[in-house]
Every structure is written in C-alpha cells, then in structure tokens.
Structure 1
Amino acid sequence: MNKIPFWTGYNCLLSKKGADVTVVAYPPIIDSKPNDMATVYTAMKKCLDMSNDAGQDYAIQTFDQQLYAIAQQVKWSKPDIFNRHILRLGGFHSLSCFLASIMKLWADGGLRDLLVDSGVFAGNTAELMLNGKEFNRAVRGFTLVFEALQVLFISAFIHWCRTFDYFDQIPSAFWNVLLEFHTSICDQTDQASDIKTRLEKLFEDHVQPLIGMFKEWGHDTSPTFKYWDMFLVAVQIMLSNVRAERKDKSKAHSMVFGVIWALKKTIIKDSKGSGGIVGITNQKSALIRWTLTRHLLASFSNEMNDRAGITCKSDNSHEEIKQTALKRDEEQVQAIVTHLNQTMTDPFDIDAHPPCLINISTGMHATREVQDSLLFAVDEGENMCRKFVKSALSLDQSGSFYSPITKSKLKTFEHMNAKTTLKCKSGEIITGHINPEIVFRRPLVLANSRDDVTIESILSLPLGPIPVSLFHEDGTMRKCCKSDLVKQFENEVSPVLSLPDFDPSLTTYIRDGMAIVQCMDAKKHKTFGDLALAYCNYLASCFTKAHTVADVFDRYDVKHSIKSGERERRTKVTAHAKVFQVIEGRNVPDWKKFLSVKDNKKALINFVCDFLFKIIKSNPLLVLPGHTYYMAGSTEDPEIAKSSSCRTCSLSGCDTTSSLFGIGKKSVYKVLKDAVLDFSDLYNLGDSDTETAISCSRRFVARLYDQKKKYASCHQDINKLRVKLATSKDSSLVRLPPSEAALRQHILRASFQTKIWHASCLAKPPLPSPLEYGWKSFKDSLHPVYFEGNMSADFLHDLVCSCKGKSQCKKSCVCVDQNLACTDLCSCQGSESCKNVHTHALTEEV
C-alpha cells in the first residue's frame, strides 16, 4: 500500500509549525444590512481605527464576494481616509468561482464521466461539485483526478524521454535523492523538508527543462494533450491558492491569509451557533440582545473550551496521515487510473490521439470552432479582463464600472450535443443546443403557474431528444466499470490456491482470443510469422490442462453488429491509424495503433487461423458440451442468482447496452443479493414473452433508483417514480430514471443481448433481427433507438422568448411573465442588452 499521504496530509508533513495566535479580539456585530454601503463603511472605519490603535501601518480586511465590490467603491470614494486600507477578496468565493470555471471547460470533455463512472463519487454529488458547490468535495475530487492524471503524465514523459534519448540527461543523483525523499515521507522523518529542498534543486536543473520540451512537443502534436495539460495547470493553481490560504506563503499569496485562517478557526467558529441567527427568535429585542452580546459569549466559549480540554492546540496530526485515509486515497486514485486505462482514452498517450481534440470518455471529435474555443479560453479570458480594466477602471472613463460584462460565448463539447426544438409564443420554431437540465427545470416552474402544464405530463415523456440517464448528451451510451461486478463476486468467495483434481480428457479450456493477442509483447517478435508462432506455442502449452482448447474471438465481418457502436467509440480516437496487410514476413508495426483499427484485427484473426491450420492440421479445435460452475455469492437462492446474473448484467450496462447514470455494478449486485427472490421472474428477459420481461425489468430498474423502497407503490410505473423522485428532493434530470418510452427500448436491447448469451453454445444461433429489439439501421451500421413517440419539448411552448429590438424582454416577454431567466436559445440570447431582471439576477448569483 502507498505510504505517502494525500495532498493535504503531504503538505502538513512538509510544513513547519507556524506561530501560535497570541491575541484574538471579538469585535461587536453591526446590526444592519450587510450589503448597505453605510454598513460596509462602518466596518472598514472600525477596522482602520483598530489597526491605528495597534500601531500598524496598514489595515488589512477581507470581504466576501458580494461585499467586496461595495468595499472597493467606499475606498475609492474616500481615498483620504482609506489610503492605507488593503482589501482582499475572500478565498472561498474566489475558489468557488474558479471551480465553476473548471467545470465549464472540462466537465463535458470527460471530467464528469470520470468522476462518476470510476465509482469514486455518486452522480448527484458530482453534479454539485461541477456546479461550484460542495466545495470540499470538489477540491478533493479535482485533486484525485489531478493525481491520477499526473501518473499518466509522468508515464508518458518517461516514454518520451526513452524514445528520443533524453533519459540519460537525468543524472543518477536525482533518482537517488528522489528515493531518499520517498523513504523520508513514508517514515515521516524530520529530514523530509531538507531533502525536498535538494530534490527541488536537482529537478529544476535537470528535469524541469525536459518536461518543458515534452509539453511543447505535446501541445504542438495533440490538441487533446494540450487540453488536459491545461487542466493540470488549472488544478495546480487551485491547490496553490488553497495552500496559501492555510499557510503563510508570502510568495504564493498575501501574508494576510495566515491571519484569515486564524480568524476562521477562532472568531468565526466561536461566534456562530449551530445555525447562525436563523431560527433563533422572531423577537426584535431578543435579536438585538444576541447581536450585542454574541462576541462576548464567543470569547467565553473559546476560553471554556481551552480550559475544559475540548480543543487541543498541540495536536498537529491530520486525518489524511492515518492508515485508513492512506488506503482510501490510494484506492480512489487507482480506481480513476484503471477507469482511464480501461474505458477511456489516455489524455497523454499521443499515439492514441487523432489530429483533433476529442472527448476522452466518448471519443467524440470536437469541431474546429469548439477546439479553438477551449484551447484558447484562457487567452480569451485575459483579453476580456484587460478590456474590462481599460474601459471600466481607466481614468478616461470610457466605460462604466456598473455596466454588464459581455459574455465570452465560450463553445464547449456541450454545444455539440443533439439539438432541441422549442416553440415560441409568436409561433417561431427555434432549434439549437440547450442544456437538458434547463429543459427539465423550466417546465417544472411552468407547472406551478400554468393550467396546461403538469409535472405528470412533463415527466411522462422524454424531455429532450436524448434520454440523459442512459446516454451522454452527444448520444453515445453511458458506460460503467464492468469489472466491479467481478470484484463483488471475489469478495463473496474464499480464494482457492489450486484447482481440485480433474480429468483433463473431460475438460474444455475456453479463452478470450483477442485478450491474449492484445497482451502479447509484440516488441519481442519481428514479423507477423514470429508472432503467430509464439501464439501457437502458448496454445500448445494449454493442452496439458485440457483435451480441448477453444479460443473465442469477436466477429468483425458482421455488417450490422450491435457492438459496432462500442467499437466505433473505442476506435474513434485513432481514425487516422493505418490499415495493414497481415502477411507472414511483414514486420510488426506499432502494436497499439495496429489493434486500434477494426480491419487490422479482422486480418490478424484470419492470418492466425490460417497459420494454425497449416501447423496443426491433425488437431482441430472443438468446443465440447459440458457443465460450467461458478460462484454467484451467498444469496437466498443461488440458482435464481445464477439465472439472473447475466440478465442484470445486460440491464445495468455492457458493451452493447447503456448503464444508468450513477448506478454501478456494486449497486446492482447489492440489490440482486438482498432481494433475489423479488426478481425471480427476471429469467423471462431474453425469452419470447417480451411484455413479461419488460414488466420484471421495470421493477428491477425502479428498485435500483429506490433501494429503500420508499416509493414501492410506484415500482410498476416508472413515470410515477420519476415524478416522486423529482418532487420529493432536488434531483437533477440525469439522476432520474428514464421515462417509460426510453426504458422500454433499453430493456429490448438488454433482452436481445441476453438472447445472444443464451445461444453462445451454438455455432450459428437463430437470432431475430436486432431492428425489433431497440436498434435501427443508419449509414450501414446499427444505432440505438432512444425512444419512440413524442417528447415533452414537442408540446411545451413558451419555454423561450422571441423578443427583438432595443427594448427586448421588457414588455410582452414570456420569460418575464413566467419569472424565468432568458437563455442562449432566446432571441436575446440572455445578453447584456436583455432587460429581463431574472436573467441578470441569475448572472449575479453565478
């Protein structure tokens, strides 16, 4: 197990103990509106007087985001009084905005899927994190991804150094000091800080220049590399600011933050009750007494806690240094790395990247407009900042400080999603890209103010063209970590060091042929003939264990395959790779690039088969009928569990079916294990009785979303469950179960996959057409049917406005009439010229 603590614990080990807080003053509370300019002036004047009494040259004061602008205006209006007053913006609000910016740039590029599908965070938690909320979890989540990506970055860097013969430029002294530093951190010795200083000097002299060259090469070669390297830089800025807030770092931040952190741990903590002033009293006199005495009670509270030993000032240990935290952090980082390697595209493996920017989760290629917008977002932000300073803060008064700030119109992967069609009051039809969550939230607001709209009618149909609980916004299937199911099985059984005695003559050995080919070390073999010979030798060694060995390969010659979508997703990132002719004397090319092309795999399988027939003509490979035994865990009825496992696997997501957002294999296994008798009729999935299969599958999916059976009466009607979950708690659209129309198509696809698995022992199974089971043919390939019938957006009107002119969104605006903010799909586009007060209120809140 890794013994190096996570980021916070690591910095605690290297940080020297700061000076103890000597005196903490508890000033009285001002009983007035915080955003009133007189209140801010009084607070600033009081701070200045206290600083003068203490003999300080400057008065340093921190304000939250909303009050900071007011404080600056007070300072500008009275420069003679506040010329020695230094105002600081609260670090929490600054970082919250910065976290929201990270979400804007990288969430739809694969960050959201990485946080959820790796199993580290639940779907609803990830949504809150990516919206700038759940501050502590967001910082931790981004730091986990940062550490996982650093693992891949360092691996790619070392590979680059060896490829271009730069590895010898790193002296052995660097590796020796690195090993020494690693040992000191693991043993938590006092010399770690001094060794770190030596290591940093060696790193700056010998390694950092090479990393700069590697980054420059990566940026010039791959837009995807540059895109995710920008993410590493952004998270590093976030972490530097967090550390500067917690530690007195004059170079990284103003020294004031050492004081601010002391205030947060003393005054603010002691002065606040469990819920602040909310719910204390409605009587004005009692509230005045609380205001006038709270600072005194806070000081008493602090002293009593110290005297009682409740607070221990000498305890410098951190939770992340403890063994349980070390194990948890290592497992979560490894889970992200594993998920990146198995189901996503390595953002720093340039050999696997096409010439354009891609979504590392879905493989979607960004348009030139989206690519340039994302890669130059920082430059555009700097230009807009300079423009604002020059116009709003310059002496020539060319602009107003109070004027709305123009939106950047940043294009992200979200703008490449399926388009939504909406109808305006004027009869105009607007089609464009819109966040599905907006389409979800706006009708729910309308349901409270319009008689023709009800929540039941809205949620009974899919809200947009893509059911986001089953598919990404770009239309590709959601995926989960399928190996989690195997891990759950492993946890339920005892390990066996060796197999029991068996008769090899009655044994059939079945292997995944393509997995064996992919694991072969192609660098050891010069030609395809050498590779095929090594494969045959490995195959021959298996006959000591079994009379028959069957190597199973995927079919790449089937024109309409339900796995074509998954193959396209996997190979989309390497669309530029070459197609090779596989012959015995040809040299083996780059193995990873070669196997990334479907036609190369097909040619390789044919070549290996022909090679086998030439060498082993007298030993044909046959699949003999027999019995297969496997452990299904400790359930109430193992036989039912065995018959249901493959069906639940197809329902919860495999290569040909979607997974449900935020519901992994662990949750599926838990439900099946705890209530296997409730779903004994799942064996109908894959049989001819389609309606029975849909009914039992619907109940199983409903249980996945309502595991405590709080709304058990709605499990037979998935649309009713959608309404219950949407109205009982603040669930986002992606966290709701799919509508009945979308779920039906999903169950049909799962049923067809189950049919294939049931007929896997037949050479040419008589399967029905996939077009009858949730698939459609488009451009010589199969694509999933999202749903049949209408969607809510088809009959919902007045979701957006068509206001035009100078006084747009001021009169007769449907958004204003319904207390809604204008969106990008409105004619006004929610710009600064929009007169809708709700639009600007929403902008200020964000």
Structure 2
Amino acid sequence: MYDLNVIYSRVIALFSSDRDVDVKDVLAYELAPVPTAMFTEDGMRICKAKSTLKKSLQIEVSRRNAGDADVTVIDGSALLWTIHWPADGTVADFIENVKTRLTSYLSESDVYLIFDRYYDYSIKSVTRDVRETGVNKKHHLLLSTKLPAQKVVLSSIENKKQLNLLLCEELTQDRLFHLRSTNKHKLVVTGEDPCPIEIKMEERRTRYDLENQQEEADTIIVQQVLGCAGEAHQISVVSDDTDVFVLLLHHYHQAGLDVPLIMESPCKGRAIVDIKSTLAKHSQIVKNLLPAHAISGCDTVASYYGLGKGSVIKVLKAGNDLSAIGNVDAPFQQVLDQATAFISACYGIKESTDIKLREERPELLPESTLDKL
C-alpha cells in the first residue's frame, strides 16, 4: 500500500537540506495516501481486542437463571471450532459429530443454524486474509476425504467453503437424521443459498420469508432473531462474537423487543449474557454503541493506532453523539463532524476542528518516532 521506509527517508532528506523545516509542521499532515494510524505496511490494521467491549458491558446470568429457550440461533462458524475433530477420521466423521451436537440442541428447542457466505469481492477480504496467515494448502474435500488439520480447514476460505457446502447438503438431505432429530423441533439451515431450508421430520421447505443476500453470519443471525421474536418465548444466540453482541443490543433496542434474549458460547462453562439486562444497564449509550464500535475498529473497518475499546466506552459514556453515522439521510458534513469529534475525544482532544487536529497529530505520535526525526 505504501512504504514507511520511503516516507521516513524523504522526511530525513528534508531535514538534511538547507530548507527551514519544523518537524511538527511536517507531522501535522498525513504522510501517506491513507492515514498511517489505521494501516500497517501490509494493509489494514485489524482490531484484535474487540472482546474488551463485550466484557466491559455484558451483564451475565447463571445457567440456572438463564431459563429455557424455545428458539436457538447458532453461529455455524463458531460452532465448528468446538466440535470434536477426529484426527484420524474423515470429513464424514466430523459431519456426524456436528449432527450429534445439533441433536442435543434440537432436543430442547427449534434451531436456526447459520453459516458465513464467501463472496469473491468482499469488504471482509482483508480480515479473512489475515486469518489465513500460515495456512496455504488447499484441499479437495469429499465425505470420504481424510480430515486435514482443524486449522487448515477452518482458517482457509477455500477449504471452509467446501466443508460448509458438504455440511449443508448432509444436514438438509439426511432423512435418517431428520427423523431422529427433528421429531420435536425444527431445524433451519442457512448456507450459500439466499433462502434457508427448514426441516421438520420428513417435511422440507424453503423459507422465502428469511431470504437474505448478506454474506456475514453476524447480520443474518440478527435478522433471524428479529424474525423469531414475535412468537418465541425466549431466544438463545450461540456465539462468542463481539460484533454479534453489539448488533443484538442495537437491534433489540431499535425494534423495542421485550422477549428474553441470551447470548451464550458454544463452549460449555463460559459466561451467559443477558441481552435484555445489558440493554437496561447501558441504555444511555446503546443508541450510539453500534456506530462507535464500527468506526473504532471491527471486521470491516481498520482500528486506530493506540486506541482501544476501553477508551471508546469512556467517550460514549461522556455523551458524544453519533446519531448521524449509519443514517443514510444525514448530511455528509454532519457525519464527518460527529465521527471526527468522537475519534478526537478518544485521543483526548477536546476541540475537533481540522486545524486543531493538525496541531495535535505530532503529540499523538510515539516519542520513539519523534526521537528518530
């Protein structure tokens, strides 16, 4: 994207010349086509501490007090990491293990299982490329294929796409599994097709009412939660993801829901989060939480240098308004002003004019950088 060494050498050349150059004047402006605070030499600066936000805000509930959900919405990608991975088995063996886990969920509630979709040109491409680091081998997966290592399959887009396809085919076409596992509750599977497939015993139907072109399971999860909210007595979302947590809080608030909603991990023993209670505790910041989380770093937006989610929460609680962000009818200047004021506040800058930002930028750089210059 750009070469930091070239930028550095050019600045040094300026200082070595006869020109009267003030280092703070130079550093008051971005020295690259994109802000160096948001990008590394290899590309987008990925936010790696999103979970801090979830841990700081979540209101936990014990298993005993969590209640029994009659609808369970499962993040398929998160689930796969927790299923027993038979080292000497085949792909079919792993799929049988998935069916066994789903059967346990289906014994208690309706199950909505949602997998990510993988489009060629995606806003998540950079994030997924980072996750693929160190995983280069592509396999041709069949049911009879000896199962490669877990990371090789689940961290590779091409390998995972094949596994998801095989899973969806087996889950929607295995009649014996349907008769054994869906006699009490229905299973709804969302895969590559825009419309999920619902199975109940020997009945199989396409859920056109849940059609969705989104590629990200996070947003599909929320859509299906909202779709179930009118009839469900309690909903459980099986996911550890911070983005899902933020989306659930936002849309639960926006839709004015009252149905009990919990978020739990596919790994037993981890915290169970009460979304309704969390909303009640943090009602003053929930309306601004989604835009704040988005612009401060998520899967599709680069994170800022030295800016953590803890700072974001503090600034939110101070009352900064982000109502224009995400509002397609808001004037662009209003969006820009609110975002600038918010990020400035996160860095401790009280005034957020463009001139003030140029003055403050050198102060925000690490001392080691200034010492080199």
TM-score by structure 2 length? 0.65
Alpha-carbon spacing, 1:731–1:512, altered in 2? closer, same or farther (3 Å): same
Q: CA deviation at 1:596?
A: 2.9
- Answer yes or no: is 1:579 the counterpart of 2:124: no
Q: Deviations over 1:162-195 (max 9, x none)?
A: xxxxxxxxxxxxxxxxxxxxxxxxxxxxxxxxxx
Aligned: 1:597 with 2:156: yes
Give 3-state SS (helix, strand or coil) of 2:111's partner: strand
SS for the counterpart of 1:586 is coil
Residue 210 of structure 2 corresponds to residue 566 of structure 1: no
* 3-state SS in 2 of match to 1:511: strand
Task: Tell me: CA distance 1:443–1:471, structure 2 relative to 1, closer, same or farther (3 Å).
Answer: same
**CA displacement at 1:612 relative to structure 2:** 0.7
SS of alignment partner, residue 434 of structure 1: helix
Amino acid at match of 2:42: D
| Bigger share in helix | 1
Q: Could you tell me how far apart the structure 1 residues matched to 2:75 and 2:368 are?
A: 35
3-state DSSP class of the match of 2:72? strand
State the alpha-carbon separation in 2 of the partners of residues 529 and 599 from structure 1.
18
Whether the 8 Å contact between 2:297 and 2:303 is mirrored in structure 1 is yes
Residue 625 of structure 1, CA deviation: 3.1
Cα distance per residue 1:477-535 (max 9 Å; x no partner): 24331111122124xx4653423445x4xx42122111111222212672222211221
Q: Deviations over 1:70-123 (max 9, x none)?
A: xxxxxxxxxxxxxxxxxxxxxxxxxxxxxxxxxxxxxxxxxxxxxxxxxxxxxx
**What's the secondary structure of 2:123's corresponding residue?**
coil
Residue 730 (structure 1) shift: 7.8
2:308 alignment partner in structure 1: 664
Q: What amino acid sits opposite 1:551 in the alignment?
A: L
Distance (Å, rounded) in 1 between the aligned partners of 2:343 and 2:16: 28
Structure 2 gap ranges (5+): 189-197, 199-223, 230-256, 262-274
**Counterparts in 2 of 1:474 and 1:586: CA distance versus 1, 3 Å:** closer
**Partner of 2:64 in structure 1?**
498
Deviation at 1:471, TM superposition (A): 0.7
Mapped pair 1:720 → 2:356: yes
Q: Note closer, same or farther for the CA distance 1:513–1:522 as it changes in structure 2 (3 Å cut).
A: same
The 1:644–1:544 alpha-carbon spacing in structure 2 relative to 1, beyond 3 Å, is farther
Q: Which amino acid aligns with 2:80?
A: V
CA RMSD of aligned residues (A): 3.6
- Asked if the contact 2:87/2:147 (under 8 Å) is kept, the reply is no
Q: How does 1:355-366 map to 2 (within 5 A)?
A: none
Aligned to 2:238: none
Distance 1:735 1:632, change over 3 A: farther
The answer to whether the 8 Å contact 2:53/2:313 transfers is yes
Inter-partner Cα distance in structure 2 for 1:553 and 1:443: 53
Q: Structure 1 residues 597 and 644, CA, compared in 2 at 3 Å: closer, same or farther?
A: same
Higher mean C-alpha displacement, 656-665 vs 524-533: 524-533
Q: Partners in 2 of 1:721 and 1:488 — Cα distance? A: 29
Structure 1: how far apart are the matches of 2:116 and 2:3?
35
Confirm whether residue 684 of structure 1 aligns to residue 247 of structure 2.
Answer: no
Within-5 A mapping of 1:93-104: none
In 2, Cα distance between equivalents of 1:631 and 1:607? 39
Partners in 1 of 2:305 and 2:368 — Cα distance? Answer: 7
Choose which of 443, 446, 449 in structure 1 pairs with 2:20: 449
The within-5 A match list for 1:377-456 is 418-419=2-3, 433-434=5-6, 436=8, 449=20
1:9-158 alignment, distance < 5 Å: none
Q: 1:634 to 1:657 in 2, by over 3 A?
A: same
3-state DSSP of counterpart to 2:39: coil
Would the aligned equivalents of 1:509 and 1:549 in 2 still touch at CA under 8 Å? yes
Q: How far apart, CA to CA, are the structure 2 residues paired with 1:563 and 1:730?
A: 29
Paired position in structure 1 for 2:342: 700
2:204 aligned partner: none
Partner amino acid, structure 2, of 1:418: Y
Which protein is richer in strand relative to its size? 2
Aligned equivalent of 2:93, options 530, 537, 544: 530
Give, in whole Å, the separation in 2 of the partners of 1:585 and 1:487: 41
Asked if 1:554 corresponds to 2:116, the answer is yes
Question: Which residue identity lines up with residue 669 of structure 1 in the other structure?
Answer: I
What residue number does 1:542 align with? 105
Residue 481 of structure 1: aligned partner: 49
Distance 1:654 1:634 in 2: 24
Q: Aligned residue for 1:828?
A: none
Shift of 1:693: 2.2
Change (3 A) 1:678 1:488: same
Correspondence for 1:625: 228
Aligned in 2, Cα 1:687/1:730: closer, same or farther, shift over 3 Å? closer
Q: Would you say the 8 A contact 1:512–1:551 is kept in 2? A: yes
Task: List alignment gaps of at least 5 residues for structure 1.
Answer: 1-416, 421-432, 737-841
Partners of 1:561 and 1:550 in 2: CA distance = 24
- CA distance in 2 between partners of 1:497 and 1:724 (Å): 49
Count of residue pairs the alignment pairs up: 284
- Measured against aligned partners, the alpha-carbon deviations of 1:438-488 in whole angstroms (never above 9, x if no partner) come to 6567768999936xx8966x4564212442210112333243311111221
Following the alignment from structure 1 to structure 2, what is the Cα–Cα distance between the partners of residues 573 and 463?
31
2-side partners of 1:444 and 1:720: how far apart?
A: 24
Name 1:5's counterpart in structure 2: none
Kindly indicate whether the alpha-carbon contact (under 8 Å) linking 1:478 and 1:661 is maintained by their aligned counterparts in 2.
Answer: no
Larger radius of gyration: 1
Q: CA separation in 2, counterparts of 1:508 and 1:587?
A: 35
Q: Give the 3-state SS of the residue equivalent to 1:573 in structure 2.
A: coil
When residues 625 and 667 of structure 1 are mapped into structure 2, their CA distance, relative to the original with a 3 A threshold, is same
Q: In the superposition, relative to structure 1, how do residues 639 and 574 fare at CA in structure 2: closer, same or farther (>3 Å)?
A: same
Q: Is the 8 A contact 1:668 1:704 kept in 2?
A: yes
Instruction: Indicate the residue corresponding to 1:384 in structure 2.
Output: none
* Cα shift at 1:553: 1.7
1:634, distance to aligned residue in structure 2 (A): 8.2
- The residue that corresponds to 1:654 in the other structure is 298
Q: Which amino acid aligns with 1:468?
A: T
Structure 2 CA distance, aligned partners of 1:697 and 1:734?
Answer: 28
Deviation at 1:588, TM superposition (A): 1.3
Cα separation, 2, equivalents of 1:733 and 1:440: 16
CA distance in 2: counterparts of 1:632 and 1:656, whole angstroms: 25
The alpha-carbon deviation at position 683 of structure 1 amounts to 3.0
Distance in 2 (alpha carbons) for counterparts of 1:656 and 1:721: 25
Q: Distance in 1 between matches of 2:132 and 2:148?
A: 17
Map 1:689-838; keep pairs closer than 5 Å. 689=330, 690-706=332-348, 711-712=349-350, 714-715=351-352, 717-726=353-362, 729=363, 731-732=365-366
Residue type matched to 1:644 in 2?
Answer: N
Higher relative contact order (CA 8 A, sep 6+): 2
Q: Which residue of the partner structure matches residue 165 of structure 2?
A: 606
8 Å CA contact 1:527, 1:585 repeated in 2: yes
Alpha carbons 1:526, 1:588 under 8 Å: kept: yes
Give the TM-score normalised by the residue count of structure 1.
Answer: 0.30
* Residues 474 and 613 of structure 1, relative CA distance in 2, 3 Å threshold: closer
Aligned AA (2:360): K
For 1:447 and 1:499, the matched residues in 2 are separated by 73
Offset of 1:632 from its aligned partner?
4.3
Q: State whether residues 661 and 735 of structure 1, in contact with CA within 8 Å, keep that contact through their aligned partners in structure 2.
A: no
Amino acid at match of 1:721: L
Cα–Cα, structure 1 residues 471 and 607, in superposed 2: closer, same or farther, change >3 Å?
same
* CA offsets 1:293-321 (integer angstroms, 9 cap, x no match): xxxxxxxxxxxxxxxxxxxxxxxxxxxxx
User: Could you tell me whether the CA contact under 8 Å between 1:459 and 1:719 is conserved in 2?
Assistant: no
* Contact 2:123/2:300, CA 8 A, preserved across alignment: yes
1:551 and 1:460 map into 2 onto residues whose CA distance is: 50
State the Cα deviation string for residues 378-428 of structure 1 (Å, max 9, x = none): xxxxxxxxxxxxxxxxxxxxxxxxxxxxxxxxxxxxxxx7247xxxxxxxx
